[in-house]
Every structure is written in structure tokens, then in C-alpha cells.
Amino acid sequence: MQRKGNSHCLNWIARVSYGAEMKWKMIIFLALLVVDVGNCRASTRKRNLSVGEARRELGVVAAYQNFPEKYRIDRFDTLEADGEYYHVFLCYIPRGRLWRTLVFANSGDYLGYYQAVDPPVETEKDALVFPGASYSSENGDFEEGEFDSGDAYVIRFSAIGPPDEVKFESRTFTFVSSPRRIRPEDPAYRFSLLANRLADAMNRSRFKAIRSDFSPGALQRISEKQTVEILSDLRTRFGKVQRVGDPWVQTAETAVLPITFEHAVAGLKLTLSEKDEIVGMWMLPFKTAFPDIGKSATELRLPFSGWWRVMWGGDHRDQSKYFGSRVSHNAREFVISSRFNKTFRNDGKYNQDYFAYKKPVLAPAAGTVVAVITGVEDNEPNSPNPFDRLGNAIMIEHTTNEYSVIGHLKNESITVRVGERVVAGLPIAQCGNSGDSSQPSVYFHLQDSAQLLAGSGYKPLFSNLYLRKESQTAVVPEYSPVRGEFIQQRSIPKETDAAR
């Protein structure tokens, strides 16, 4: 007897990229066949997570955890708890002489860290071992097993990951979760877990392993050979998966996730059974999976004065490093540049050499400040901080479901507080080089969620601009500038003068 939902078809709509122009075609419509998957679940296979992969993941999701500019991250070990693998990395922070034990899921997702003045001294199969006051080790290795002598603090993991807090008689360990960590009770968790398993299997060309997540009804309608052929073709055309984004849960059974491949960006739509097995799966063009949420009601001005150049931003992958993120897909990043695209004087070794550094950053529209991030050190040029995406930042609520986010601000330059009312054009900070930026710049996006870096992003339309292209300057009443273009605010609203 088949469960409800097994009669669904598994549709693969694969999209193919040829150069800069995306041409989409249906590879095949698959209706799937039934096999008993037994205990061969893809989640129990251990992934070899590298330091480089850990750094990349941290650069995307480990925002707002005050990682300094200078740090050292090393490979440590892998734990297994109830069939689930967790990868731990030691991170040394010279400032404060602190150790952070970073924890990743087997999918590669960053979960958070424990912080202490001492690092773990060894691991057991499912636990971290921190030294106690009388701990001593003869060999100093990290071999699994009992610690050598003296007392120690053992933090044991479970199938849902590291414990949030472990209390001992003389010491407490607190796990600082990633702000975007999806927990098992979250409706998005099951989709995220499965999508990351698929990505891991795709990247390692283990196409047959993906079938262990199919529902019996799905397995009935597609052969192993067909599965391998289709997934192999996708891997050849798109390349490896570089990132699986946060799920957009549409119903209890269906969610869409942004997927960034080496050569394309797409949306993965998943329909799951009650047993978390794949009933339906579609690979869609990004803009089909995450359609434009429409024009914002807020009239925006540029968050600065004078001529600036768009360093990142646009409707195509080659125009923006933020392309493929549901919330910051339409983000813009601005610098001050000469007509020959030079952004600094002298040799550009110091932030002070850059034309944009310390320039006033202005409120893009009237609203209420709802979030401020401060205390993030400015980077040295060409040394972005991968642990903090926005750096010092301000979030302003303009109207219902419309929030501006301005980032990469200079440390200790923010002049507004949470709850403060601002008007368009009011100076709120200075341009800096904090967060995931390589030089002094101003980051901007407009989103529909009250939570930072969550929800969907609007395409920003700035009003009343001068636009310069190829030595030609035009006046545009409303425009969303793209990479390489020079723009300047043409006029400032009257309310700005009163604010100043």
C-alpha cells in the first residue's frame, strides 16, 4: 500500500547556461519508480570539510559574531553523534588570546562556536574534551579516548548538534549559535538538511547515493541509470554547488532554496513526504523560483552625495557578487572612483588612501532606525573580513515590510541609535571598510523582512539621479544603477535641510 503523495511525479526541469545568456530547456520529465531504501541514508556518510570550505561558509553566514580581522583557523576533528557528523575547527584570536571551537554540520553549514581561554585537548567519538585545572597530557595528541590524567570537561554532542549550554560545578560552556542556524524545530530544517545532502552528493559525483532520499513512489518511476545520466549532465553544465541558501518554505511539504553553482544560479524546489523523502524536485531559473516582489513604496535617494561608481550590482551574475541570495540579490555596493576606475591615491595601502573613506553616509529615506551593528574593526585594504558580511551597519524601517540596510561603515562612526527617527539625507555614519569588503565602500539593499539578512530583497530604485555612461551624462527620474556606472544625487529633499 502506497502512502499519500507517492503518486506525484518527480519533475526535473534543468536549465542550461551558455555564456552570458541563459537559455533554459527541459532536459526530461521523470516519473519515478519504488525500491526499499533500507538504512542506506545519505546523511550518515562523512564529508571531508576543508579549512577553505569552512572559511567560505563563515564568510556568508557567520555575521554579527564579532570575529576580528586577524585570526587563525586550523583543522581539528570530526565527531559522530547518532549517525550525524559534525566538523570542528580550532580558531585562535590573538586579540584577547581566545580560542573558538567552530562547529559545522556535515552539510558544511556553520552552526556556531564555543569560546574559551583554552582549546579542546582531545576528542572522543561524540564529544569535545576541554582541560580542567589539574589536566595533564603526556603525548599532547588529539586521539579519541579517555584523557590522560586529571580532570576535564566533556561536551557531548547529540543528533541535533552541540548542546547550547553545558554546566559543570566550576565552569559553564555556552554555544554561540550562528544567527542563521536552522534548528530541528524550524519548518525549514528538513528542507535545508536534504538539499545540502543532495549538494554534497552532486559535488562528489555520487549520483546513485541521491536515490536513497527518494520516496518509494519516486524510485518506482526512474531507473538508476536515468538518475545518473541526468544528474551527471547537470553537474557537467552547471559545475559544482558552491552554496545552498536558506529555504523559502511555501507549504508544510514544499520549499524553494537558492542554489549557486560554479556556472549558474538557480532555485531548487523540493516537495517532501511525511518521512522527509523526495516526492517532487525541480531545478528552476533563479528569477522563476524567486520572482520580483514588485516595486517598493519608499522613494529612495542615494546614501551619499557626489559622484560614486557602482562596484557591485545588477541583474546578471557577472555584475554582482551578491547574485543568488534571496535577500541581497539586488544589493548595490558603491565606491568613489576616477573615470579610469581608480579608487585610491598613492599606492592604496591604507584606508586613508581611498577617496570614499570617511565620506558621509546619508539616510536613503525617512524612517526609524531598528538595528545598529557597531564595534567591527575596519579591514586593511584587500583583506576582507569573511566572518562579518555587513560590518558596521544600520537598518532603517521606512514603511510596512520595507527596510533599508546600509553596511561596510567605519567603526565608531555611526551617529544614530535604535528607535531614532531619521529623514532622507540625514548624515548617519561615515564610509568605512568593515565586514566583507576589500576597500572603503557603501553597501545597500532594501528588504521586506524586519530580520536582518532575511526575507526577499527589492530592486532598489533611486529617484532623480545624474547617470554617467561613456562620458555621456543624463538625468534619470528613477533608476537602479548597475556595475560600472557613475551616479550622483541630483537634488536633496527639502526635509533634509531641516534635519541638518
Domains annotated on the chain, with CATH: 10-44+184-289 (3.10.450.50), 68-81+88-177 (no CATH), 308-499 (2.70.70.10)
pLDDT tens for 304-349 read 999 999 999 998 888 888 888 889 999 999 999 998 889 999 999 9
* pLDDT tens track for 188-232: 889 988 888 888 888 888 899 889 999 999 998 888 999 899 889
SS (H, E, C) the chain: CCCCCCCCCEEECCEEEECCEEEECCCEEECCECCCCCCCCHHHCCCCCCHHHHHHHHHHHCCCCCCCCCCEEEEEEEEEECCEEEEEEEEEECCCCEEEEEEEECCCCEEEEEEECCCCCEEECCEEEEECCCCECCCCCCCCCCCCECCEEEEECECCECCCEEECCCCEEECEECCCCCCCCCCCHHHHHHHHHHHHHHHCCCCHHHHHHECHHHHECCCHHHHHHHHHHHHHHHCCEEEECCCEECCCCEEEEEEEECCCEEEEEEEECCCCCEEEEEEEEHHHHCCCCCCCCCCECCCCCCCEEEEECCCCHHHCCCCCCCCCCCCEEEECCCCCCCCECCCCCCHHHECCCCCEEECCCCEEEEEEECCCCECCCCCCCCCCCCCEEEEEEEECCEEEEEEEECCCCCCCCCCCEECCCCEEEEEECECCCCCCEEEEEEECCCCCCCCCEECCCEEEEEEEECCEEEEEEEECCCCCCEEEECCCCHHHHHHC
**Maximum mean pLDDT: which of 133-137, 157-161, 409-413:** 409-413
**pLDDT (tens digit, 9 = 90+) per residue, 254-295?**
999 999 898 889 999 999 999 999 998 899 999 899 988 989
pTM: 0.70
pLDDT at 65: 63
Query: pLDDT, tens digit, for every residue of 229-253?
Result: 988 999 999 998 888 888 999 999 9
